[in-house]
Amino acid sequence: MDSAILSSLGINDKAAKIYLAALSLGSASVAQIAQKTGIKRPTVYLYIDELLKRGLLEKVVVGKRQYYHATDPSTLIARLRKNMAELETALPELAALRATSTGKPQVVILEGEVGIERIYEEVVQAHSFCAWSNLVTVEKLFPHASLNIAEKIKERGIAVRGASREVF
């Protein structure tokens, strides 16, 4: 398995390799994990501490020896859900900080379908908006999105100002 998936979850590449090695080895010593990953033993100790703190590894002491085994991978999903819940809780405060920031008006240029979706999300949250666009092209490329946004704008009574090259 590629450690890139774990890296995308905020886990360092070497820590991800160590976690994957621990998963495949079961209960293993630091030396066994180092041999499996090709990472030097002192470095493995550093990342094992990080993985222990994150709850991805557990330490088992047998006599004088310490062994480590990976926790169930479903803990990754539980961790993501917890982070998502914390972010949702903090979102109103973050949005308030953004709204109270002073400065010059912001000009944003967005491209592609992701850009259109982001614009539409911001438009339905606003009381009014001003735009410069090529509406004919947008409607051709994203017809379902254009209809949905038009309906939401009418429902919420959002004031619209815009400039376009097309004649309506």
Residues 21-37 have pLDDT tens digits of 999 998 999 999 999 99
Where in the sequence is the domain holding 61, given as residue range(s)? 4-75
Is residue 81 assigned to a domain? Answer: no
Give the model's confidence band at 1: pLDDT under 50 very low, under 70 low, under 90 confident, else very high.
low
- pLDDT value of position 118: 81
- pLDDT value of position 105: 64
Gap between the Cα atoms of 103 and 26, Å rounded: 56
pTM: 0.55
- pLDDT value of position 101: 64
Same domain, yes or no, for 8 and 71? yes
- Say which CATH number the domain at 10 has: 1.10.10.10
Is residue 51 assigned to a domain? Answer: yes
CA atoms 10, 12, 17, 19: torsion sign: negative
Radius of gyration of the chain (CA): 25
- pLDDT value of position 30: 94
Q: What angle do CA 69, 74, 77 make, to 5 degrees?
A: 130
Q: Which are the contacts of 164, defined by CB distance < 8 A and separation ≥ 6?
A: 132, 133, 134, 135
Residue 37, H or E segment = helix 30-37
Tell which wins on pLDDT, 49 or 113.
49
- pLDDT value of position 24: 92
From 42, 75, 108, the end of a domain falls on 75
Whether the predicted pLDDT of 39 surpasses 90: yes
Same domain, yes or no, for 111 and 50? no
Q: How many CB atoms lie within 10 A of CB 168?
A: 4
Q: 29-33: which pairs have CB atoms within 8 A and are 24 or more residues apart? A: 29/65, 29/66, 29/67, 29/68, 30/66, 30/68, 33/68
Q: What is the mean pLDDT of the chain?
A: 82
* Per-residue pLDDT reduced to its tens digit, 82-130: 888 999 999 888 888 877 766 666 677 777 777 777 877 777 777 777 7
- pLDDT value of position 165: 65
Tell which wins on pLDDT, 34 or 76.
34
Same domain, yes or no, for 61 and 102? no
Same domain, yes or no, for 20 and 63? yes
Please state whether beta strands 159-164 and 57-62 pair in parallel, antiparallel, or not at all (unpaired): unpaired
Number of structural domains, the chain? 2
Same domain, yes or no, for 17 and 58? yes
